[in-house]
Amino acid sequence: MLVLANSACFFLTDDKKAGIPYLRELFLLAILAASALLLLTWKRLYQSKACLWIVFIGICLPVMSSILAKLNFGQPIVYGLLEERRSFYFLIFFPTLFLLYKAKPTEPQLERFFLVSGLFCVAVGFLYYFKIIPQNSGFAFEVDAKELGSEESMLRPNRYRIGSGYVSICAFMIMYSLRRQITLARVMLLLLFTAYLWLVLQTRSTMVVWALAGLWIFRDRIGSLLKLGAVASVILVVSYFMLPDFYATQFERFDALLNEATTGPGVRNITTGIILQEVAKNWYIGMGALSLQWNGGFSTLYNPWFYLSDVGIVGVYYRFGFLTPVIALVFYGGFLSIMRDCKNKGDLLSAMKLPFVFGLINMFLSNSIMYGGDLLGISAACFLYFSRVRAKAPAPSTTHNERISYDKFQHRYH
């Protein structure tokens, strides 16, 4: 249940106005309470440096950002913590690790949990996308969307981030299984997740990451990649003749997305320029993050499209200034160390590794440090648990039958 709840498919959010009200807030409070209890009572946590890494990323950084925003802008610390609340999701590491030690699942069992959760997210996402699940009435949100004129002319209407992290994990997991053996069921599952990415998530950077991940996974299995491409092509060609108008519409959208991404100065360029200028004026001391709930946040200070989440490590630089290189080194180096300690990774752990690696490569757009806690926290717990379990497993030894066979051989020799 923790894995499924962490997918956020039940939550009421700014882009998914259908969900259980206040469940997201209650879930975060439960994570905070469980983490505090485990930190006070569970001694096993202090046997690993991963605990200190989580505390630094999930507690120290949001508190530091809130204090800097208070010193620079006078924003109350409560609003600063509210703005950085997504960093607290790193603390899901503690209850996840506790439950892993109690349940003692194998990696294939955990793979099934994640696959079921990912499929549940896809089902909820498509039901909401096709308006089958109605919106909750009486709730309003400040939507951080880039408007390109009227609502009808927005470049990416009906875009919802429902279970995006889980869907990526499941897609990578299926790619790793297809690397060993291609089956029609797995290909259909991968196409389902791909359709969900294109129609519902609509995130260009994620599309690029999936393509690069596929090339990496099949880098020494060119034959499997060609077979997979052939099967997928046949399915797509058949579906094209069944739904030609649908594909024509999707091609027009692809052309519009490509044109918007490659022409003209984007919002990210403007935001980056403002950040570099403002931090330099502040003697390279971090300025924290402003909450939209406090005097309109950054929208009244700079422009309505100024979001630190859009510019990755540059957004971290705005928060923490000259401390950013140290924070980045601790964050990326710490998680790499946690992953490295886990040997013989299966499909799930290998899939969990890829989002972090591509986030590291693309740190100027990836916002993992402040916003990746829901996925990286649970991933770190899985890496740590399986590294400990496999370290305690007995080393392979010569079996009894092998010794008997060897003795017989020696008897014949003599």
- The single-letter DSSP state of residue 57 is I
Dihedral sign computed on CA atoms, order 63, 313, 162, 166: negative
Decide if pLDDT at 323 tops 50. yes
Chain segment 281-296, per-residue pLDDT in tens:
999 999 999 999 999 9
pLDDT of residue 153: 39
- End-to-end, the C-alpha distance of the chain in Å comes to 63
Chain segment 35-79, per-residue pLDDT in tens:
999 999 998 888 888 999 999 999 999 999 999 999 999 999 999
pLDDT of residue 265: 57
* Residue, of 98 and 147, whose pLDDT is higher: 98
Chain segment 97-109, per-residue pLDDT in tens:
999 999 999 999 9
* Whole-number Å distance between alpha carbons of 388 and 85: 30
Chain segment 304-318, per-residue pLDDT in tens:
889 998 899 999 999
Whole-number average pLDDT of the chain:
84
Chain segment 204-259, per-residue pLDDT in tens:
788 889 989 988 998 887 777 777 778 778 777 777 677 677 667 766 666 666 66
pLDDT of residue 95: 96
* Whole-number Å distance between alpha carbons of 401 and 404: 5
* Whole-number Å distance between alpha carbons of 281 and 411: 86
Chain segment 170-187, per-residue pLDDT in tens:
999 999 999 888 888 998
Beta strand residue intervals within 273-317, DSSP E:
none
Helices then strands, counting H and E runs in the chain, come out as 20, 0
Spans of all domains in the chain: 1-104, 106-138+154-263
Which among 262, 169, 157 has a CA at the least distance from the CA of 199? Answer: 157
pLDDT of residue 226: 79
Decide if pLDDT at 409 tops 80. no
CA distances from 291 to 39, 241, 249 (A): 29, 49, 38
